[in-house]
Amino acid sequence: MKYPGQPKKPPSWYRDRGQSHIEKAFSSELGDLADAIEREHWFGDANNHSRYRVDFLLKDVRLIVELDGHEYHSTKEQLEKDALRQRYLSRAGYTVVRFTGREVNRAPADCVAEVGEIYRERMQRAPAKHRVMYIDYPFFVRESTRALKLYRELYPTKDLSRASLEVFVPYAVEWLHEKSFITAFVFLPPEYAHKIEHLDGYVKEYDKGEVRINLMEDELYSLELGSHMQSFSHLFDEFFLVADDPVYVHPLRSVLPEEFAEERLGAYTLKYLANGKLLRLGNHETSFAGSDLAHVRWQDVCYAIGSSMGLSLYEL
């Protein structure tokens, strides 16, 4: 298992036997929490389809509630399976809150109240939207080299140099007209790792928020980027991609809405794919031409690179 799966509805082969006694007791006390909580989801990856069934799920705050009946959670073997299961669900991005059957039987309302308190605390701390930026690092290096050559030719009297990745990222965010807190995953082959290994886990603060940088090293880095994007799409609301390669068409398209959104501009109606933005090559160069990604809002990566070198807007 490279990446864990994400929550899905019960598989077709599953036959619902109804709620257990403690699940019924817990459900009967949900009250206002009923709209936020979902019952019975399944997690699984490509190798272990529908591997784990969870009792209750609160997607908004990435919280799982498990009710542990004594008959299924008491032996050493069952406790070991529970530990494996909890680690799997943690890797999928969820926190697991467990209640024993005894707790639920004794005071189901108290158990629900505790879940409600956790939910409200997390909602207060959570950003309005969870945004993620995926960066193809060789693409960034290649386009930075090309942009540096271009701008040195245009402005021979300026002392220009290539900007580092941590300097570039806030400009990339601004050129996409975004702000707030963004998680950035930088995918790169092993031979590049020594150049930026110090940035793994680095938090870059800037005027409008912060970006947390995570390095993802792999020989097949472009395929891994797409796989990661799809595997963790349930954790994010908006997806930004700094890249330009047809290998990214399918993964990015799969995490964006199926239907096109519409925007009126004067007498024209423009169709676009919401929840995604691109920093890519221009229309005459992009490899996304002819695909649905041509309908994703975008900026030319050259502008963000130029800004990170210190050029003003009118110089780009």
**Whether residue 258 sits in one domain with residue 142:** yes
CA–CA–CA angle 65, 33, 49 (5° rounding): 40
**Whether residue 272 sits in one domain with residue 197:** yes
Task: Enumerate helices (H) and strands (E) in the chain, giving the number of each.
Answer: 10, 12
181 secondary structure, DSSP code: E
Predicted local distance difference test score (pLDDT) of residue 50: 57
Domain stop point among 66, 92, 125? 125
**Tens-digit pLDDT string for the chain (316 aa):** 577 767 777 666 667 667 888 999 999 999 989 888 988 778 776 566 557 888 899 888 889 999 987 655 566 777 788 788 888 888 888 889 999 889 999 999 999 999 999 988 888 776 767 899 999 999 999 999 999 999 999 999 999 999 999 999 989 988 888 766 889 999 999 999 999 999 999 988 777 778 899 999 999 999 999 999 998 998 899 999 999 999 999 999 999 999 999 888 888 888 999 999 999 999 999 999 999 999 999 999 999 999 999 999 899 8
**Whether residue 156 sits in one domain with residue 262:** yes
Domain housing 171: 131-315
Could you give the CA distance from residue 182 to residue 90 in angstroms, rounded to a whole number? Answer: 20
**Whether residue 66 sits in one domain with residue 148:** no
**Whether residue 179 sits in one domain with residue 64:** no
What per-residue string of b and e applies to 101-137 under the rule 16 or more CB within 10 Å gives b? Answer: bebbeeebeebbeebbebbeeeeeeeeeebbbbbbbb
Nearest residue to 215 (alpha-carbon basis) of 225, 206, 226: 225
**Whether residue 135 sits in one domain with residue 27:** no
Q: What is the pTM of this model?
A: 0.81
**Whether residue 160 sits in one domain with residue 35:** no
Task: Determine, yes or no, domain membership for 12.
Answer: no
Predicted local distance difference test score (pLDDT) of residue 87: 86
Could you give the CA distance from residue 292 to residue 258 in angstroms, rounded to a whole number? Answer: 10
* CATH code, domain carrying 62: 3.40.960.10
Could you give the CA distance from residue 199 to residue 193 in angstroms, rounded to a whole number? Answer: 10
Task: Determine, yes or no, domain membership for 1.
Answer: no
Task: Determine, yes or no, domain membership for 13.
Answer: no
- Tell me the two tokens of residue 42: 């399944």
For helices 301-308 and 137-154, the axis angle rounded to 10 degrees is 70
**Whether residue 135 sits in one domain with residue 119:** no
**Whether residue 150 sits in one domain with residue 79:** no
What per-residue string of b and e applies to 143-160 under the rule 16 or more CB within 10 Å gives b? Answer: bbeebbeebeeeeeeeeb
Q: DSSP states of 121-158 as a string?
A: HHHHHS-SS-EEEEEEHHHHHHHHHHHHHHHHHH-TTS
CA–CA–CA angle 8, 4, 86 (5° rounding): 90
**Whether residue 160 sits in one domain with residue 64:** no
Task: Determine, yes or no, domain membership for 3.
Answer: no
Q: Number of structural domains, the chain? A: 2
Could you give the CA distance from residue 45 to residue 290 in angstroms, rounded to a whole number? Answer: 31
**Whether residue 284 sits in one domain with residue 158:** yes
Residues 6+ apart with CB under 8 A from 81: none
**Whether residue 119 sits in one domain with residue 71:** yes
Residue 64's Cβ-count burial label (10 Å; 0-12, 13-18, 19+) is buried
Provide the 3-class DSSP secondary structure of residue 93: coil
